[in-house]
Amino acid sequence: MSRMPALLLPNTASPFAPRSSPTIVLNTKVDPWLTATLKRINRIKRSLNSVPQHMKCLTETLSQQSAIWNLCTLMVPKAPASQLDRHDNPLVEAFARFELLHVQAYVVHIDLVLSHEVAFKLTKDTIDDLCEYHKDIYLVDQTDTTWPWTEKEAQVKKLHDEFHQAVNKYVYRTDAIALEGLEDDGAGELLCGRSEDVKAQVLALFYPLMPPPPRVVDVVRPVAQMLPSNPGNWWNPSPVPSNAPPPPPVESWKILPSSPIEDNSPVSSSGGFPTIWGPTTGYDMPVTCSPGPQYTQAPTTLSMSIPQLPLPSMVAQQCSVGSGFGGFGWDRYQDYGATM
**Which among 101, 136, 100, 105 has a CA at the least distance from the CA of 118?**
105
Q: Which helix (H) or strand (E) holds 102?
A: strand 98-111
**Cα–Cα distance, 177 to 37 (Å, whole number):** 10
Decide which of 186, 203, 220 is a domain's last residue: 203
If one counts every other C-beta atom within 10 angstroms of the C-beta of residue 332, the result is 11
47 occurs within a structural domain: yes
Contact status, residue 280 vs residue 309, Cβ threshold 8 Å: yes
pTM above 0.75, yes or no: no
Task: Judge contact between 46 and 87, C-beta under 8 A.
Answer: no
Q: Are residues 163 and 284 in the same domain?
A: no
Within the chain, what is the greatest distance between any pair of CA atoms? 159
The verdict on 162 and 263 lying in the same domain is no
pLDDT, tens digit (0-9, with 9 covering 90-100), for 22-35:
999 999 999 999 99
Report the range of poorest mean pLDDT among 56-70, 97-111, 209-223, 312-326.
312-326
Same domain, 21 and 141: yes
The helix or strand, by DSSP H or E, that contains position 24, with its residue range, turns out to be strand 23-25
Instruction: Tell whether 104 and 188 lie within a shared domain.
Output: yes
Do 190 and 318 reside in the same domain of the chain?
no
Same domain? For 53 and 154 the reply is: yes
pLDDT per position as a tens digit, 239-262: 656 666 777 766 655 555 555 555
Of 203, 221, 236, which residue sits at a domain end?
203
Q: Which of 284, 286, 278 is nearest to 257 (CA)?
A: 284
Considering the domain architecture, whether residues 113 and 195 belong to the same structural domain is answered as: yes
Q: What is the DSSP string of 220-279?
A: -PPPP-PPPS-GGGTTPPPPPPTTSPPPPP--GGGGS-SSPPP--PPPPTTSS--SS---
Examine the pLDDT at 180 and tell me if it is beyond 80: yes
Quick one: 91 and 181 in the same domain?
yes
User: What pLDDT score does 214 carry?
Assistant: 77
The residue ranges of DSSP E strands in 112-244, in sequence order, are: 117-122, 171-175, 188-189
Mark whether 181 and 63 lie in a shared domain.
Answer: yes
pLDDT band at 79 (very low <50, low <70, confident <90, very high): very high
The total number of structural domains in the chain stands at 2
User: Does 198 share its domain with 263?
Assistant: no
Per-residue pLDDT band at 318 (split at 50, 70, 90): low
Query: Residues for the chain: how many in total?
Result: 340
pLDDT of residue 165: 96
Residues spanned by the domain of 273: 254-295+309-340
Q: Indicate whether 235 belongs to any domain.
A: no
Is 101 within 8 Å of 130 (Cβ atoms)? yes
> In the predicted model, what is the mean pLDDT of the chain?
77
Of all residues in the chain, the percent with pLDDT exceeding 90 is 47
